[in-house]
């Protein structure tokens, strides 16, 4: 992957910082003067992956833009927990309009900056997976197609969490949601549906598309910063576990993101102008069960009325990702 892997420094680039690294090699998040774009006092649940991912991403964008940033937010958890009257957690200029129009609003902000000759001011739009892959998809595609100068960040927690955990087109097969209950012959969300928005974004031929997780901060920051160095439409989908919606422990948020990547369930890659240019390799491949078991949304796959065939199907999806994106190093593939 493109971010600089530093000479061996005890934890390399895996931890947020490390006193052994030169300051310019540390992450934005390691900085005592990071912008904390979304500040304390927000009302996100304990261990919220989205709150974390948002600060990671927006702080990085702030750092790269020299704090000349305007953020647009789709309706959703992030918006609700950050700006209930009378308090806002945002320290950046921020606007929330609607659930499905964040990309278009961002286009408008970018147009305003352009027309006013303020090319130094950069625009980020952000939303959850529902706001991005479903209701906001038309506007997103329009923004992509026009190559508007907007970085769109999707915080993907794989369902409509703010409304009470309903299925979105980013919900994985078998997952329990309030609208895909674990009952019937095919419990949970069905196989064969869903939308791969990063690949759809790539099909627009936009300058930059990437996926990232809250478990790989350095990779995430590298991608945000890289995206911010470019002009035109850019898309980053960040995998942000939701303890509440997934039925997981609040302290497992990062662990689950790590497992999603290490199992191959969530391929972490980047693409420029429609072509994959890098993947974040799996360090220590894990069987899919390791990822599924800590989450109650997959509980019906195990236990008394287990569905091993569905687990196998999910494993096959992960393995396909691994093959398709080349997520394992050669020697690790051979060792399989």
What part of residues 24-63 is at the interface with another protein (CB under 8 A)?
Answer: 26-27, 29-30, 32, 36, 39-44, 46-49, 51-52, 55
The angle that helices 253-263 and 49-64 make with each other, rounded to 10 degrees, is 80
Q: Which is nearer to another protein, 58 or 301 (CB)?
A: 58
From residue 90, how far is each of 238, 302, 315, 336 by CA, in Å? 19, 41, 39, 46
With binding defined as CB under 8 A, does residue 94 bind another protein?
Answer: yes
With binding defined as CB under 8 A, does residue 253 bind another protein?
Answer: yes
Q: Which helix (H) or strand (E) holds 316?
A: helix 308-325
CB of 53 to another protein, least distance (A): 9
CB of 212 to another protein, least distance (A): 14
Q: Which is nearer to another protein, 89 or 132 (CB)?
A: 89
CB of 200 to another protein, least distance (A): 14
Going by C-alpha positions, the residue among 267, 275, 66 that lies closest to residue 172 is 267
Do the beta carbons of residue 304 and residue 257 sit within 8 Å? no
- Residues 87, 80: Cα–Cα separation, whole Å: 11
Q: Which is nearer to another protein, 67 or 193 (CB)?
A: 67
With binding defined as CB under 8 A, does residue 249 bind another protein?
Answer: yes
With binding defined as CB under 8 A, does residue 106 bind another protein?
Answer: yes
According to CB under 8 A, which one of 204, 223, 258, 261 is a site residue for another protein? Answer: 258
CB of 188 to another protein, least distance (A): 26
Q: Which is nearer to another protein, 52 or 236 (CB)?
A: 52
Give the other-Cβ count within 10 Å of 305's Cβ: 9
With binding defined as CB under 8 A, does residue 114 bind another protein?
Answer: yes
With binding defined as CB under 8 A, does residue 132 bind another protein?
Answer: no
Do the beta carbons of residue 271 and residue 320 sit within 8 Å? no
With binding defined as CB under 8 A, does residue 322 bind another protein?
Answer: no
With binding defined as CB under 8 A, does residue 101 bind another protein?
Answer: yes
Binding to another protein (CB under 8 A) within 64-83 occurs at 67-70, 72-73, 79-80, 82-83
Name the one residue in this structure whose structure tokens are 């739009």.
Answer: 125
Q: Which is nearer to another protein, 68 or 277 (CB)?
A: 68
Q: Which is nearer to another protein, 158 or 252 (CB)?
A: 252
Do the beta carbons of residue 156 and residue 131 sit within 8 Å? no
According to CB under 8 A, which one of 17, 187, 245, 264 is a site residue for another protein? Answer: 17
Structure tokens at 209: 């598309």
Among 166-174, 222-230, 253-261, 313-321, the segment contacting another protein (CB under 8 A): 253-261
Q: Which is nearer to another protein, 140 or 301 (CB)?
A: 140
Phi-psi region of 147 (alpha: psi -120 to 50; beta: other; left: phi over 0): left
With binding defined as CB under 8 A, does residue 146 bind another protein?
Answer: yes
**Cα R_g (the chain), whole angstroms:** 19
Q: Is 244 helix (H, G, I), strand (E, B) or coil?
A: helix
Binding to another protein (CB under 8 A) within 153-182 occurs at none
Do the beta carbons of residue 216 and residue 268 sit within 8 Å? yes
Structure tokens at 145: 């197609």
Do the beta carbons of residue 156 and residue 240 sit within 8 Å? yes
């Amino acid at each position: 992957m493109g971010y600089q892997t530093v000479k061996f420094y005890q934890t390399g680039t895996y931890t947020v910082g490390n006193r052994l690294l030169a300051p310019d090699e540390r992450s934005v998040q390691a900085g005592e003067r990071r912008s904390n774009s979304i500040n304390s006092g927000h009302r996100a649940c304990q261990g919220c992956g989205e709150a974390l991912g948002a600060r990671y991403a927006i702080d990085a964008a702030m750092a790269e833009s020299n704090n000349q940033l305007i953020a647009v937010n789709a309706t959703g958890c992030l918006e609700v927990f950050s700006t209930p009257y009378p308090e806002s957690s945002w320290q950046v200029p921020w606007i929330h309009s609607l659930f499905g129009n964040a990309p278009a609003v961002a286009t408008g902000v970018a147009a305003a900056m352009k027309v006013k000759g303020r090319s130094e001011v950069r625009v980020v739009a952000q939303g959850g997976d529902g706001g991005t892959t479903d209701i906001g998809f038309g506007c997103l595609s329009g923004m992509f197609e026009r190559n508007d100068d907007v970085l769109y960040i999707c915080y993907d927690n794989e369902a409509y969490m703010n409304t009470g955990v309903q299925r979105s087109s980013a919900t994985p097969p078998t997952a329990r949601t309030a609208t895909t209950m674990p009952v019937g012959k095919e419990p949970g969300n069905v196989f064969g549906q869903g939308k791969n928005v990063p690949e759809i974004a790539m099909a627009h031929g936009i300058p930059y598309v990437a996926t990232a997780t809250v478990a790989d901060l350095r990779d995430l920051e590298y991608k945000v910063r890289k995206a911010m160095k470019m002009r035109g439409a850019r898309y980053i989908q960040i995998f942000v576990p939701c303890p509440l919606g997934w039925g997981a422990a609040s302290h497992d948020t990062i662990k689950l993101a790590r497992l999603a990547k290490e199992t191959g369930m969530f391929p972490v890659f980047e693409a420029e102008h429609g072509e994959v240019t890098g993947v974040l390799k799996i360090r220590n491949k894990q069987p899919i069960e390791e990822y599924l078991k800590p989450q109650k949304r997959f509980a019906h796959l195990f236990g008394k009325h287990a569905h091993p065939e569905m687990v196998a199907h999910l494993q096959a999806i992960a393995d396909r990702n691994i093959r398709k994106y080349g997520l394992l190093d050669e020697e690790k593939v051979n060792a399989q």
